[in-house]
Amino acid sequence: MNKRHLLQSFLAASALCFGISAAQAQTPIKFQLDWRFEGPAALFTHPAAKGYFKAAGLDVAIDAGNGSGGTVTRVASGAYEMGFADLAALMEFHANNPDSPNKPVAVMMVYNNTPASVMALKKSGITKPADLTGKKLGAPVFDAGRRAFPIFAKANNIGAVQWTAMDPTLRETMLMRGDIDAITGFTFTSLLNLEARGAKASDVVVLPYPDYGVKLYGNVIIASPKLIKDNPEAVKKFLSAFAKGAKEVIANPAVAIESVKARDGIIDSKLETRRLQLAIDTVINSPDARTEGFGTVNAGRLSLMASQVSDAFNTKSRVNPDAAWNGTLLPSAAELNILKK
């Protein structure tokens, strides 16, 4: 073999080794959503599709979820390194599992307001929270709005109500059939599901929790304490890549939905774009979010929520907000400046 061939062989081997090294440099992160691949999932699928996670040295696998409680549990078990879950569900896990060595931690606020609301059909005669006294309400037992209803009831002097539990797929159907008087759920989920079942938006009364004295935070990005301890840079890079993608999602939801469609080809792109826009308008780019700043929390509000969750969920121990939240890994203020004024 002459020198030229030797050089070519060396360069080829070096390139191969570099490629292997580069691949090994990708930090794997399994990420669990709170729900199915619907509109709001674009917040995560878009930056993944654009290659922002990969460019940050992360190999992120995004899986659909079946509720915030499940997401928290799976991150706590070590099956997932990170996830997207309702902060109240995370706080409840902390307070009910005080001795757990792997309690997930919230590292970025995404839904500055809870998306929970009570929804009823206008023909029910329900127009305000007080009208719910004595009525039949329905929701899955794990629904965030149902779990937090005692807070909503206390804030609005609502008397006793009757609850009916059902599978999530039956919630809106039972309301349309008249089996129940009202439901709790995420506004951007249940309102569009009601429309899909024949209701007009003008036929639906929506009582959003944030509009009626309940300033609970909504969904947050959570991470396992092991990942935070062993590789805080990976968490920082994830949040930076996420913020970059989220800015584009907020600016152009219709384009961002394409990344969700790629994950679940049967979704209705037009419907999911509406769902995503509704989520942006009500809980992501909300007045509270613009006041506090995207990604961060207000300490006083966080502390109040911890106390409210402790009482409403009747937890084994009181929620410690400082244990559930870690804002030290957030991107710079410039990177978090993504909301449209």
CA dihedral 289, 293, 295, 296 (to 10 degrees): -100
Per-residue pLDDT, 9:
55
Per-residue pLDDT, 19:
47
Q: For the chain, which residues score pLDDT lower than 70?
A: 1-24
Per-residue pLDDT, 108:
98
Q: Bin 283: left if φ > 0, else alpha if -120 < ψ < 50, else beta.
A: alpha
- Selection from 210, 183, 190, 213 nearest residue 284 by Cα: 210
Per-residue pLDDT, 25:
77
Rounded to two decimals, the pTM is 0.91
